Amino acid sequence: MPTVKPDGTPFDIVKSEDDWKAVLSPTEYHVLREAGTERAFTGEYTDTKTAGTYTCRACDAVLFTSDTKFDSHCGWPSFWSPLAGESVILLEDRTMGMKRVEVRCASCGSHLGHVFEGEGYGTPTDQRYCINSVSIKLAPAE
């Protein structure tokens, strides 16, 4: 797992892999730190409609809001945009024999999922941030 962003600056939160293993469950560690994927339709937030803010499960950085969450029926929580600013970084991903765009937390570098464009969902950005539930936590609105 990289300790610096693509521009060479360090992530705000850097821990050893042993430290990450001490604070994350084995499944969380696999997805967040080893770029794994949870099985489709098994995640805690796939069908959640609760208003609130979604944060990185590894470092609590604010990433998405329920205002941009939509029903894509793809098996994972989907958002049409991260929060404004630098909350996520996008990296080219050529694993699994295809070209995709990986989404990582800009604060700690943890893997969140992938972003896809041009799928016809009719969202304002024509993007689908396909995010693993195990990578995020929902803080319900008050």
Across the beta sheet with 136-140, the strand order is 62-65, 52-56, 136-140
Tokens read off for 38? 């949870």
Report d(CA 70, CA 51) in Å as an integer. Answer: 12
Catalytic annotation, pick one of 56, 59, 108, 130:
130
Look at phi and psi of residue 127 and say left if phi exceeds 0, alpha if psi is from -120 to 50, else beta.
Answer: beta
Report d(CA 142, CA 115) in Å as an integer. Answer: 29
130 part of the active site: yes
Per the listing, tokens 């821990």 go with: 15
Per the listing, tokens 């295809």 go with: 98
Q: Which residues contact 29 (CB under 8 A, 6 or more apart)?
A: 20, 21
Catalytic residue numbers, as ranges: 130
